[in-house]
Amino acid sequence: MCSSVVVMVIVSVALVFQSDVAQSINIKPLTTLSRKPVTYRVGNIDGWDKSHSLGVWPNDKTFYVGDKLFFQYDYLEHNVYMVNEKGYNSCKINKGSRLWTSGNDVITLGKKGWHYFICDYPGNCENGMKIKVNVL
């Protein structure tokens, strides 16, 4: 008699505890964008420059919508065009591409998918002054 009451109490306590744990797990689902936007300095210490191997610069990074690319460069020798894939591969400006020229350009990655950037000063893109980043 007495022992069955004790068992019931233990079972009830266990059930309450269990439902608390289940609720706390369900409160906050994980999302892919679980961090604040990040601003990346393109080319790290070298900046946006043809002396740097820019092609591999994005490889160890994960870009999300809202992140920014900071292009720093000598505006008398370089610029930044956002082009399409064909423009990236051919190093030629396509219709609808966008241009930045300040030497201190912060460009927001506003949507998912591939983004392509090149410098269109003669020979620069052909020598590796271009990057492509995939935005998640």
CB of 79 to Cu ion, least distance (A): 7
Closest CB 54 distance from Cu ion, rounded Å? 10
Nearer to Cu ion, 18 or 53 (CB): 53
Footprint of Cu ion on 49-108 (CB under 5 A): 78
Give the span between the Cα atoms of 52 and 64, in whole angstroms: 24
Q: Could you tell me the CA-to-CA distances from 2 to 9, 10, 12, 40 in Å, in that order? A: 11, 13, 16, 68
Minimum CB separation of residue 48 from Cu ion in Å reads: 7
- The verdict on 119 binding Cu ion (CB under 5 A) reads yes
The strand pair at 104-108 and 98-100 is best described as unpaired
Q: The tokens of 59 are what? A: 């490889």
Nearer CB in complex with Cu ion: 72/124:
124
Write phi, then psi, for 83 (nearest 5 degrees): -120, 180
Give the interface with Cu ion as residue ranges (CB under 5 A): 78, 119, 121, 124, 129
